[in-house]
Amino acid sequence: MMHLFHKISESCSKATTELYSTSFSSAIKLLHADVRQPIHNIYGFVRFADEIVDTFHHPDKAALLQEFKADTYTAIQRGISLNPILHSFQATVNRYNIDHDLIEAFFYSMALDLDKHTYDPQGYADYIYGSAEVVGLMCLQVFCEGDKMRFSELKMHARSLGAAFQKVNFLRDVKADFEGLERVYFPGCDFNNFSNADKAQIEADIQRDFTHAYQGIIKLPLKVRFGVYVAYKYYLSLFQKIKRTQAQNILEERIRIPNYGKVFIVAKAGVRSQLNIL
């Protein structure tokens, strides 16, 4: 009956992805069937850790995160966990030989969210690496399916894509982070006096990440390229909408792409894919 336990664990990871992120889960559906579940497994894991530091305000967050971290490594070592999210994650880690240093960096960044509220440039870079770039690298290890040369060629592009996504999230969620959690991720930013010039400087950095990421996307294996490209186009569209928004308005509303806009992005990406002009 072990296959049923594997199945229910994977179902939990998939449900977590679908309930927390309709955009990301939609992009996963465009990947080849062979790699969809492993990406759900990665997303479920990082989402649960993120919930600990962002949502569970009454329990002892530090204790919960440390316990989750210890349980993660125990699951990987044993090859099993009664936590279905960790069981499906360990299966992916062990199957695709995901580097444990990536997991350690991820937990380092999650721990920073427990009491770190502002960042200098180096701290910001470290946080972005651990919270987002390593997730891109985990996914890339799945996509490359053991092809070490391809992974080495694409890893910096994967890091750029993860960084672009995270920085767009930061801009989109400024109100919640600044007012709700008292966090300021962008170095040197004073959101009490946030100007269009400040915003433009951040956007220039994000644009460099997007440009570099695209150069890697077009080199991805065919079975995953379209799904990753759609995720890239969704975030790029969100970024472009943010760029058209005045700095002060960023602090007053959460920028979104409506559902019809998401459908258009997929349709347009599909046409470009059929014409082989990604």
Task: Choose the weakest-confidence range: 131-135, 181-185, 216-220, 241-245.
Answer: 181-185
> For the residues of the chain, what is the DSSP string, one character each?
-HHHHHHHHHHHHHHHHHHH-HHHHHHHTTS-HHHHHHHHHHHHHHHHHHHHHHT--SS-HHHHHHHHHHHHHHHHHHT--SSHHHHHHHHHHHHHT--HHHHHHHHHHHHHHHH--B--HHHHHHHHIIIIIHHHHHHHHHHHTT-HHHHHHHHHHHHHHHHHHHHHHHHHTHHIIIIIS--B-STT--GGG--HHHHHHHHHHHHHHHHHHHHHHTTS-HHHHHHHHHHHHHHHHHHHHHHTS-HHHHTT------HHHHHHHHHHHHHHHHTT--
Q: Is pLDDT at 176 greater than 60 in this prediction?
A: yes
* Segment 7-39, tens digit of pLDDT: 999 999 999 999 998 888 889 999 999 999 999
Among residues of the chain, what percentage have pLDDT more than 90?
A: 71
- CATH code at position 57: 1.10.600.10
What's the whole-number mean pLDDT along residues 115-138? 93
Task: Choose the weakest-confidence range: 50-54, 97-101, 178-182, 208-212.
Answer: 178-182
Residue 98's domain comprises 2-274
What's the whole-number mean pLDDT along residues 88-99? 97
Say how many domains are in the chain. 1
Q: Is pLDDT at 269 greater than 70 in this prediction?
A: no
